[in-house]
Chains A and B, each alone.
Chain A
Amino acid sequence: MFPFNFEWIWDMGHMVFHGGLWYALAIIGMGMTYCVIKAAVDTAKGKGGHHH
């Protein structure tokens, strides 16, 4: 899973499989981080105080 695992080899199989995994995880992680930070900033600005 990580290059520091003892069985890791820098071959095509590892790069494609794990590249795809980390690519998808990065998108989800960055997306959620963006949502949380923006929600915190919006709340601090007083947005979302009314129910609609």
Chain B
Amino acid sequence: MDSALIPEGVKRAPLWKFLLSIAVVSVVLLWGVFAMLLCWIKGLNQTNMNNAYGFALWIWADLAVIALGGGAFFTGFLRYVVGKDLLKNIINYAVLIGFICYSSALLILAIDIGQPLRGWFIFWHANVHSMLTEVAFCLSVYFAVLTVEYIPLVLENRQLNKVPFLHNMAHNMHEIMAVFAATGAFLSFFHQGSLGGVAGVLYGRPFGYREGVLIWPWTFFLFTWSAAAAGPSFTIFVTRLTEKITGKTLVKQNVIDLLAKISGWMLTTYIIAKIAEPLYWAFVTAPSKGMALGQFYTQNPGSVYGYWILFTEVVVCGVLPALILITKRGRSNRKTLFTAVTLASIGVCINRWVMVLQVLAIPVLPFESWNMYFPSWQEIATTVLPVAYGVILIMISHRYLPVFPQERELNPVD
């Protein structure tokens, strides 16, 4: 029925199966939309945020999806600026994942700011002393870049591509994509960094506070670095997941291998810095602020924030995937590769959780106790909402757009 819209030479599931899958995911989506409307209509009293937790689940989700979406800017940078031509076979999917991540981040922010009708104030009445202003600028403009990068893929739909103007438009956009990709890399470097910088400049909260270079604390660089390292891993993770669901090989192993190798070396260098930097913080910076390392990790209810979280982030989700990804054997084996990219993706999410929520949980005054927080169902539903939206957009894009250039060659239709 919709076969005229499906790319030539590829096989897709029957329409009824596709629509049924969309309907199932839409139930989750509608749950999220309902919670979102509650937040917009009734206000932020629908959340469990309080005076201690002005940043909560939403901001963690925001920072996590922005880091995971870093695969788009870094893969784009490698493909168009560095010239790694092989990555043309996965760049479409990296862009799509980035587009989903960044649109999700903006959606979450639109709920989080409480009064979305005043969202434009941050541009119009910008506070030029705030790192978050820079984040808002770069985030919005980079989303525009991702939209520009996604448009040619939409225009390459089998029917749209028959229209001469749209065909020419897609062709011209591809021709100058390097300019957009370089702009995206510039914007990403700063907003990824500034998100880290926000925690690093909190001199009243020694768990987050870091020294650094000029106005940039070390967390600025670590955030950009970790996004460039884990973003490509997340792209591979979603690609492999898509392959499992569709039952097809969509990208050749040498392409995955190259991206995994780059991600692995980025992760290795990041994790060395990630071990060195906290050591200096633990033994020099924090004591200079009157805090001992143990105070950050002990005596909290249920040991929620014990040393285990540091070990999981740095060793299990940092050192281990880095070692797997930099070895040829680790990358060649589908299971170890999948394990490594999954761990790397989880690792960056833990890092963002620590830098957003553990920072706020730790008492900073002698008479304070640990601030604990658990999100309301409305917060959870609105955080799951972008996942459902992402799944639907991937399903539609995969069905109707030539996302994977190697799919036809790898899966010949009889």
Task: List B contacts of A5 (CB < 8 A).
Answer: 124-125
* Chain B residues numbered 110-124 whose CB sits less than 8 Å from any CB in chain A: 123-124
* Chain A binder among B164-172, B205-213, B396-404: B164-172
Chain A residues lying within 8 Å of B179, measured Cβ to Cβ, are 27, 31
Q: Specify which chain A residues have a CB less than 8 angstroms from the CB of B144 in the assembled complex.
A: 25, 28
Interface contact tally, CB-CB below 8 A: 81
- B126 cross-chain contacts in A, Cβ below 8 A: 1, 14, 17-18
Residues B157-178 near A (CB distance < 8 A): 161-162, 164-169, 171-173, 176
Q: How far is the CB of A43 from chain B (nearest CB, A)?
A: 5
A14 to chain B, nearest CB (A): 5
- Residues on B with beta carbons closer than 8 Å to the beta carbon of A14: 126, 128
- Kindly state the interface size class of chain A when it binds its partner: 20 to 34
Bound Cα distance from A18 to B123, whole angstroms: 9
Contact status A42-B172, CB under 8 Å: yes
Q: Is B133 an interface residue (CB 8 A)?
A: yes
Question: How many B residues touch the partner, as a band?
Answer: 20 to 34
A48 near B145: Cβ-Cβ < 8 Å: no
> Would A51 and B161 be within 8 Å (CB), given that A7-B125, A17-B133 are in contact?
yes
Residue B180 CB within 8 A of the other chain: yes
> Which interface residue of B128, B129, B133, B148 has the most chain A CB atoms within 10 A?
B128
Point out the residues of chain A lying under 8 angstroms from B186, CB to CB: 24
- Which residues from chain B contact A34 at a C-beta distance below 8 Å? 172, 176
Interface status of B134 (Cβ within 8 A of chain A): yes
B137 contacts A by Cβ under 8 Å: yes
The digit string for A1-45, where 1 denotes a CB below 8 A from any CB of B, is 100010100010110111011001101100110111011101100
A28-B180, A39-B166 known, 13 other contacts, Cβ within 8 Å: A17-B134, A21-B141, A24-B187, A25-B144, A28-B145, A31-B176, A31-B179, A39-B165, A39-B171, A42-B172, A48-B167, A48-B168, A51-B167
- 3 nearest A-B residue pairs (beta carbon): A13-B128, A48-B167, A39-B168
Which B residues form the contact surface with A (CB < 8 A)? 123-126, 128-129, 133-134, 137-138, 141, 144-145, 148, 161-162, 164-169, 171-173, 176, 179-180, 183, 186-187, 190
Task: Identify 13 residue pairs between A and B in the complex whose beta-carbon atoms are under 8 Å apart, listed by A's number.
Answer: A5-B124, A5-B125, A14-B128, A17-B128, A17-B137, A28-B148, A31-B179, A31-B180, A32-B148, A35-B169, A42-B172, A43-B164, A51-B162
